[in-house]
Amino acid sequence: MATLIEVQELTKTYFTRIFSNLSLSVNEGEALAIRGDNGSGKSTLLKILAGITKPTHGTVKCMNPDTMIGYVPENFPYNIRFTAEQYLYHMGRIRGFSGSTLQNRISSLLYQFHLGDQRTNAIGTFSKGMKQKVGMMQALLEESDVLLLDEPLSGLDLDARNDLESILYRLKSDGLTILFTCHDKKLLNNIADRVIVLGNQRIQSEYVPAKKSRFHVKIEADTNDQNLDFLDEIDGIISKKQTGNGDLLLMDVERSASDRLLLTLIQHGISIQSLRREDEK
Ligand SMILES: Nc1ncnc2c1ncn2[C@@H]1O[C@H](COP(=O)(O)OP(=O)(O)OP(=O)(O)O)[C@@H](O)[C@H]1O
C-alpha cells in the first residue's frame, strides 16, 4: 500500500506536553484506529491531521497535495435549525459548490447513509447517531480521500452503532482511508487494519487487530413475477441471477447489506426461499 500521509516528529504542547516526536505513516485505503487513555492526545492528533490545530513542532505531509481530508468532531453542533438537506446544501455552498452539483451529491449521500426519508426533517429532532451521520456526510461533500472520525460510535445505541459500522465498512471497501479514535473493541476488530495506542506522550504500541472472518450471504428467493429494477439501487449486491422461468432469484450479498436487502425484498412481495452464509476465503 502506498503512503498517503507522513507524520514526522510531531510535538504538541498546550500547558503541558501532550506528545512529542510522534512519527506515523498512513497508507492509502487503510483504516487506522487510534486508542489511548483519556487525555493521551487522540483528538489532538486528529485535529492536527485535519489542519484545525497547529503542532508545536513537526510536520504532516500529504504525499499527493490534492488529497482531500474530511474531519468529523465527536459532537455535532447544537442549535442547528436547518433540515439535513438544507444544512448540507449551505455547507456545500460555503465551500464553493454549485447548487446542481450539491443537489446530486447530497441525494447520493443521504441514500448511502440511510437518511433519504429524513431529508426534510429538522436536524434538531435527530438522534445522536443521525447527527453523527450528518457530520460524516458534511465531511464527504468534497468526495474526500481521507475521513477523520473522533469517537464515531460514542453515545450511540446498538442499532445505531451497527448501522454506522456497516456504513464505515462500505466506505472503507470503496477505498476511503479512515482514521478514527475509538474505545469500541467491535469497531476496532471489524474495521481497523491497524491500531496505534497513544500513551506517555508517544505511540506506545501498534498492532493488527484479530479479524473476524468476513462472510457473504447467499439468498435464494421466489420473485413472484415482481419487477426487480429496484435491486439496481441497492449497494452490497455482489452478484445476482435469475434461473428457472425467471422466478428464482439467486444473490450473493455482502454481510453488511444483507438485513437491509432482505427487508427490501420482502417489502416488494418477494419470498425468501433460503439463506446461506458463506465465509470469505
Ligand atoms: N485547546 C486546548 N487547550 C488546552 N489544553 C487542551 C486543548 N485541547 C486539549 N487539551 C488538553 O490536551 C490533552 C489531550 O486532549 P485530547 O482531547 O487530545 O485527549 P484524548 O486522548 O482525545 O482524550 P479523550 O479520550 O478524553 O477524548 C488533555 O489534557 C486536554 O485537556
CA atoms 129, 130, 136, 140: torsion sign: positive
Q: What is the ipTM of this complex?
A: 0.97
CA of 54 to the centre of ligand 1 (A): 14
Residue 52: closest CA among 32, 73, 36: 73
218: CA distance to ligand 1 center in Å?
46
- What's the pLDDT at 154? 86
Nearest CA to ligand 1 atom 5: 14
Which residue owns the Cα nearest ligand 1 atom 24? 38
* Closest C-alpha to ligand 1, atom 25: 38
- Domains of the chain, with CATH numbers? 3-207 (3.40.50.300), 215-279 (3.30.70)
What is the maximal distance between C-alpha atoms in the chain? 73
Q: Which of 10, 11, 12, 14 to mutate to test the pocket of ligand 1 (most atoms within 8 A of CB)?
A: 14
Distance 112 CA to ligand 1 centre (A): 32
The pLDDT tens digits along the chain (281 residues) read 789 999 999 999 999 999 999 999 999 999 999 999 999 999 999 999 999 999 999 999 999 999 999 999 988 888 888 999 999 999 999 988 888 889 999 999 999 888 988 989 999 999 888 999 999 999 999 889 999 999 998 888 888 888 888 888 888 888 899 999 988 777 787 789 999 999 999 999 999 887 655 667 888 999 888 888 888 777 777 778 888 777 888 888 877 778 888 888 898 889 999 988 876 64
| Cα 266 to Cα 152: distance, rounded to the nearest angstrom | 31
pLDDT at 62: 94
Measure the N-to-C terminal CA separation of the chain; round to a whole number of Å: 21
**Predicted pLDDT at 210:** 73
Beginning with the edge strand found earlier in the chain, give each strand of the sheet holding 248-254 in spatial order.
237-243, 248-254, 215-222, 271-279
Q: Computed from CA positions of residues 99, 104, 109, 111, in that sequence, does the dihedral angle turn out positive or negative? A: positive
Q: Quote the pLDDT of residue 211.
A: 64
Q: Looking at ligand 1, which residue's alpha carbon is closest to its atom 2?
A: 14
* Angle formed by the axes of helices 99-112 and 128-140, nearest 10°: 140
The pLDDT score that the predictor gives to residue 119 is 87
Q: How far does the centroid of ligand 1 lie from the alpha carbon of residue 39, in Å?
A: 5
Q: Which residues line ligand 1 (CB under 6 A)?
A: 14, 18, 36, 38-44
Query: Any idea which residue has 487506522 for its cell?
Result: 32
What was the pLDDT predicted at 95? Answer: 87
Measured in Å, residue 119 CA sits from the centre of ligand 1 at: 34
Distance 229 CA to ligand 1 centre (A): 50
